[in-house]
Amino acid sequence: MALHPAFLVVLLVGALAVVSSQVTLAPGIDPKYQFFIDLANTPIAKGDNFPGLGVFRWARFRSNGSAYLDGFQQAFGDSIHMRTAPWGGISLALLTIAPGGLRQPHWHFNTAELGYVLSGTAQVGAFGPGTLPAAEFAVQQGQIFFFPQGNNHYIANSGSTNLTILNAFSTVDQIQTLQLDDLLLLSDPSVTAQILGGQSATFAQFPAYAVGSKALVPGPAGSNKIGSPLDGPIVSSDNLNASNYFYNLKGSQNFTYPGGVIQWARYRANATAANLTAQQTAFSQTLHNTNAGITAGSLLVVPGGVREPHWHTVNEFAYVTGGKGTIQTVGPTGADTYSYDAVPGNLFFFPTGYSHTIRNPPGNTDNFTLFIVWSTSDELQSVDLEESFDVISSGILGQAFGVNPQVFSSLPKLHETIAPPRNVSGPAFSNVLASSAQAPASGPAAPAAAGGNGTGTNGTAVKTATP
């Protein structure tokens, strides 16, 4: 990927602006928890637990520190709040809904929402705003739904097992939400009756409840089935109306690298060149045109493979969906350097400019898989470590490291993005640098800019920014 000068300026400004100062940690909490939370096992607040119906588990900032349930939540929540501005923040929730359960129709004042189905089957409805069409459709494991800011939407479990969803919200502030049932409850009854045909007696029969108490509701009495769709049969997710809100991530094009695979749900400025289908183009345009502030994708690393050290101009959140791996972060001036053993249910935060490495260690037998979101709805931009060695002349690198430029000019130009398993022989690179003689700052001209190229499912080379 060639580095545009404006992109380099953004990176430089970001690197100068991001500070490695620590958040205030509770006693006994390791600083590494600023970038990691075990979301699948984090405590559940009383107001997020609906016995027999489902639960919400949160990774988010709380303006009232006493609202955190433990020091791990506080370390992560305060960290994402401190480190995300001005590049856009993300809050995440792990939502479980029992069979027949319904997440009430509602909308968010200050955020878009993107959901990835981890297990189960959902029926989803989305309505507005503006000229976006209404749609109701099914979403299955490995697929994505998206609701723009202000969009009235619901999520129902239409299957026979629990529905589990990872929801990403495009804000790090407190999420502001209003439910349809609460709006009806709080509105002037005479106005409500007037606009709905004068049937005031109908609404008087509704059961009383406290505002905000019915985020999750059960199915019809004596059944684990959800109610009928509002406007007739559920449409196919291939329907173009539904495609504004739906993306089949697991069924999308594979970008295959020597050590793994990437799949995308993102905006592409040139949908034709990117070989997007009509349905994928509709989703891409909705993300971008609604200024969603979210991009998503999945990453698979084979045993022994590694997604090389890299960084972005936006914030990244990576949720482990399968296998086991190791993850390392490196922050400004080498601070915030932490290594983690990662397992399913773990959530990681990589702030803007932070280098991060995702590895499936040798000896593992299963693929290491992650679902990833970034805080942008523009085209994602990344820089890889190997790419930095490619585009900067060996003479400059030799001067910077204080070694003979041939150390760098002799490196192979692999452009792998996800490196495959391979035996590593000889001294460590750091030892090579230490033992190399100082040489004048000269060397061959910079090689051609590297491309982050993957091979698509059709066998053609496809230019792509990488996660």
Q: Give residue limits of the domains in the chain.
A: 5-181+213-382
Does position 222 have pLDDT exceeding 90, yes or no? no
CA distances from 49 to 97, 112, 114, 215, 458 (A): 11, 23, 21, 10, 46
Find out whether 71 and 26 touch, Cβ atoms under 8 Å: yes
Q: For the residues 428-450, what does the mean pLDDT come to?
A: 46
Does position 386 have pLDDT exceeding 50, yes or no? yes
Q: Which residue has the higher pLDDT, 460 or 322?
A: 322
Single-letter amino acid code for the residue at 182: D
Q: For the residues 111-132, what does the mean pLDDT come to?
A: 93
pTM: predicted TM-score of the whole model, two decimal places = 0.86
Worst-scoring range by mean pLDDT, 121-135, 253-267, 316-330?
121-135
Worst-scoring range by mean pLDDT, 365-374, 386-395, 435-444?
435-444
Does position 420 have pLDDT exceeding 80, yes or no? yes
Does position 92 have pLDDT exceeding 50, yes or no? yes
- Tell me, what's the pLDDT at 219? 82
pLDDT tens, residue by residue, 282-299: 999 999 999 999 999 999
Q: For the residues 192-212, what does the mean pLDDT come to?
A: 76
B/e letters for 18-56, b = 16+ CB within 10 Å, e = fewer, are beeeebebeeebeeebbbbbbbbebebbeebebeebbbb
- Tell me, what's the pLDDT at 436? 55
- Tell me, what's the pLDDT at 432? 55
Q: For the residues 219-223, what does the mean pLDDT come to?
A: 60
Please compute Rg for the chain using Cα positions. Answer: 24
Please give the CATH number for the structural domain made up of 5-181+213-382.
2.60.120.10
Q: Which residue has the higher pLDDT, 313 or 200?
A: 313
Does position 62 have pLDDT exceeding 50, yes or no? yes
DSSP string across 391-437: HS-HHHHHHHHTS-THHHHTS-----SEEPP----SS-HHHHHHHSP
Categorize the per-residue pLDDT at 49 as very low, low, confident or very high, splitting at 50, 70 and 90: very high
- Tell me, what's the pLDDT at 239? 75
Taking residue 388's Cβ as centre, other Cβ atoms within 10 Å add up to 14
- Tell me, what's the pLDDT at 467? 53
Does position 164 have pLDDT exceeding 70, yes or no? yes
Q: For the residues 397-412, what does the mean pLDDT come to?
A: 92
- Tell me, what's the pLDDT at 435? 58
- Tell me, what's the pLDDT at 377? 93
Largest CA distance in the chain: 90
Worst-scoring range by mean pLDDT, 38-47, 78-87, 148-157, 303-312?
78-87
Q: Where are the alpha helices (DSSP H) in 234-347?
A: 240-243, 278-289
Q: Where are the alpha helices (DSSP H) in 196-348?
A: 200-204, 240-243, 278-289
Helix, strand, coil percentages in the chain from 3-state DSSP, rounded to 5 = 20, 30, 50
**How many CA atoms does the CB half-sphere of 183 hold within 13 Å?**
10
Q: Which residue has the higher pLDDT, 92 or 174?
A: 92
Strand partners, 306: 359, 419
Task: State the chain's mean pLDDT as an integer.
Answer: 84
- Tell me, what's the pLDDT at 143? 97
- Tell me, what's the pLDDT at 465? 41
